[in-house]
Amino acid sequence: MKTADWLRLLIALLLAGVTSYGLLHFGFGAAGAWLLGTAASTLFFSTAGGAYRLGFAAVAVVPPFLINRASELGADWRLYRVTRSPSQAFQDMFLDSAEKTSLAFGMFVALPLIIVWAVNYRSYKRERLTKPPSQGD
């Protein structure tokens, strides 16, 4: 990897860390920090991601998703567990949690990665079209 790629990786890790930390401490709330990190990551890696833009975008958006879902599932578990047995609490929160998790994954992980992938695909397609043919052809 080139120096620029190492800098992009550092930025991806910083975005993941700030967004993950922001979920708990910045006062935006989970959705605000998540949206901020997702939008910033998608915009940055779509425009300045380089050859590894899809991987860097994944590094930036997947850890906050996992941390957010783990903290929300823990909070839901504590809420449901107060008045129910463990099996009943799990049963009651399962469908609601599965629905929220799939929706959050689609909005905050899959959609940004699809956008970055599309930009990456278009970028490589454009490079191939503008690249002069080799002399041996």
Integer Cα distance of 24 and 137 in angstroms: 58
User: Residue 71 has which token pair?
Assistant: 């903290």
pLDDT digits (tens, 9 = 90+) for 5-62: 898 889 899 888 888 877 666 666 667 777 778 888 888 888 887 788 899 999 999 9
pLDDT digits (tens, 9 = 90+) for 95-134: 888 888 898 899 889 999 999 999 988 887 766 666 666 6
CA 30 to each of CA 55, 67, 131: distance values in angstroms, whole numbers, following the listed order: 23, 10, 45
Beta carbons of 107 and 31 less than 8 angstroms apart: no
